[in-house]
Amino acid sequence: MGIDIWLDRDRPTDNVSDELQGGEVAPGIFDATPEPVLWQVLRKQVIDCTQCGLHRGRQQTVFGTGDPEADLMVIGEAPGAEEDRQGEPFVGRAGKLLNAMLMAVGLQRSQVYIANILKCRPPNNRDPRPEEVAFCEAHLKKQIELIQPRLILCVGRIAAQNLLKVDTPIGQMRGQLYEYPDSSIPVVVTYHPAYLLRSPKEKRKVWQDLQLAMQVYQKP
């Protein structure tokens, strides 16, 4: 599919291609492990949410996937058409590229937790409106509180600006370390995988961002 795979030079490369053979996304932990009660409650709140008009056009909510005790949380922008259909964030080509990004730093998709700032797809994949982000913010905040990640990797301009409450262009945000508001959780910002599919020359910058993220992630 023309998707590059980053590899850490210090990491063995055996079976890397095999790891990408099992489909577009690896199964999340929720496929095999019952959710804790607090997660079940939060998931139902998201499913039942009708606070903004996005609920009228969705096929289903896109809650999140992965390890609820993960040290790394990946936060993206909003579900697209395929995410809306499958009910899982980061599927399709962008999801496969995100998997490769994680694999390049020695992580499987199932070892992290992946969520979006919005749980419903905006029509025609338009940018989220401020009020939509505000209504969904409580759900994402609760996910972060339950996980208590050691690091948040924020992918995409919309996710970064809304999560960090800034209007700085993403090109100026990347390469720096931030903190999730009202916490000490470090945040690293990088480009969205979908953007990389359109602008493959930017992959080198994302690799630099991933290296920064791993420096923080691997601190004792």
Beta carbons within 8 Å of 160's beta carbon, 6+ residues apart = 154, 166, 170, 173, 189
- Give residue 4's pLDDT band: very low, low, confident or very high (50, 70, 90): low
Rounded Cα gap, residues 64 and 98, in angstroms: 15
Domain ranges (residues) in the chain = 34-217
CATH superfamily of 34-217: Uracil-DNA glycosylase-like domain (3.40.470.10)
**The whole model's pTM is what?**
0.83
Going across the sheet that includes 186-190, the strands are 65-66, 113-116, 72-76, 151-155, 186-190, 177-179
The H-or-E segment that residue 107 falls in is none
Average pLDDT, the chain: 87
Joined together, the tokens standing for residue 40 give: 């079940």
Each residue of 195-219: pLDDT tens digit? Answer: 999 999 999 999 999 999 999 998 8
Each residue of 23-38: pLDDT tens digit? Answer: 333 334 344 556 789 9
The pLDDT value given to residue 121 = 95
Asked if pLDDT for residue 173 goes beyond 50, the answer is yes
Rounded Cα gap, residues 109 and 114, in angstroms: 8
- Give residue 74's pLDDT band: very low, low, confident or very high (50, 70, 90): very high
The pLDDT value given to residue 208 = 96
